[in-house]
Amino acid sequence: MQTVLVVDDEPKIRTSLRGILAEEGLRVLEAEDGRAALETVRRERPQLVILDIWMPEMDGLELLEKLQEEPSAPPVIMISGHGNIETAVKATRLGAFDFIEKPFSLDAFLRVVNRALDHKPASVATESLGDNTPGPATNTDSISDPALIAGCTPRCQRTIRRSVVASGVGLHSGVKTGLILQPLAAGSGIQFTGLSTDEIVPADITWVDSTGYATTLHRNGVTAKTIEHLLATCHAYGITNLLVKMQGEVPIMDGSAVAFCDLLDSAGWEDQAARSEPIVIRERLLVGNPDGEWISIEPSDGFSITYQLRYPRPVGAQDYTYDHRGPQSFRNEIAPARTFGFLKDMKALASMGLANGGRLDNFILIDDEKVVNTTLRFPDELARHKILDIMGDSYLLGRPLQGKITAHKTGHSDNIALMREIRRTHQA
């Protein structure tokens, strides 16, 4: 029988949680403050601690830090009636397994408890991508992990080894926000959720709600905005099962996907027993006007994207082809490419309530003559960023692709239109 310790200064909360957990066949212990909780952990060695944040004398975050110093620190689920994404990010950084906001549903609570009790912490939590890669593959430019190359071989499903967090602002909302990434079981897919709901919105084209300047998902009251850079990174790293806790919009970071690469590198990954078969393109598909904006995909032995960008001066024409060879090629060629915008469009975006989080350090700003706020990381950085967006939008199919994508002057709406056509014609 597994043991759970409930730490809360409110007797009614402890009694309620005791009843719920006991019905699940768990042995339940209680503590009303931090001092009693530490004594119980050292004496009983519970498999899980459920910890309220707001308590007198020693609050939950302080106790969480002390619990992490114990020789066999149990996983900790934080609960709070006054939580927000910043508190959740802080708790996760301090070592919490998860964060739940009161009031929570019984089903949502038990799902988190079961995940925590089933969780097997990684014996080594390194910061190196190569150290977390199964088999002999290493994190070098010259060696790629064949299992990560979409379309080459059937692949294992994959999740991260431990929870990781990030903070930032939303590009379009301008609101300070955060991101918590957590492992999920095989077959779960990538799921977005908030702190105060047990609803999720899957990363699937079925739930695309908007494609204006970013890709937004919506389902049953849960909205996930500007998801494409994170999904592109999951695509490149082969992450198929992941829980993403957020507050409305994925933070923009520096406008590129580098920070998300860093997150997955620090989390590590583990392969799972289930397979992740690529969608193999059997015939050429084209969406759009061949004389204007269009995007196509055709059969190929691997996965590649060519983007043909055409803007008036000072941008002009940019063309780039990316052949996906695993996470390191993505990190080197595509992840550093930042989002961009034009000074003449800023007023229109503001009138639509967009780009409120745009800062001079998180996107490329272009006027009628030049880039005004930064130095380009690549001569064709804008075309590479369009490829980044396509990689993210294409992962809304839920599986990697085997095919060659070519895009000409397109955006998110075109990307999603092609993905819907692929699903319609490749339902196997």
The set of catalytic residues is 412
Residues 6+ apart with CB under 8 A from 379: 318
Distance of alpha carbon 316 from alpha carbon 376, whole angstroms: 14
Beta bridge partners of 224: 217
Is-contact 195 102, C-beta < 8 A? no
Task: From residue 194, give the alpha-carbon distance in Å to each of 83, 292, 335.
Answer: 11, 39, 26
The SS3 assignment for 61 reads: helix
CA 378 to chain CA mean position, Å: 25
Do residues 41 and 59 make contact, with C-beta atoms less than 8 angstroms apart? no
Place of tokens 């619990």: 67
Phi/psi at 25 (5° precision) = 85, 25
Residue 100, both tokens: 């739940």
Helix ranges, 241-303 (H)? 258-267
Please report the beta strands in 103-215, taking only residues with DSSP state E, as ranges in sequence order.
155-160, 164-169, 176-183, 190-193, 201-202, 208-210
Specify burial of residue 58 (Cβ count, 10 A radius: 0-12, 13-18, 19+): middle
Cis-peptide into 103, omega within 30 deg:
yes
Query: Is the backbone of residue 296 left (phi > 0), alpha (psi -120 to 50) or beta?
Result: beta
- Work out the number of other CB atoms within 10 angstroms of the CB of residue 44: 13
Which among 200, 187, 72, 182 is positioned nearest to 119, based on CA atoms?
Answer: 182
Residue of 239, 280, 276, 277 whose CA lies nearest to 257 = 239
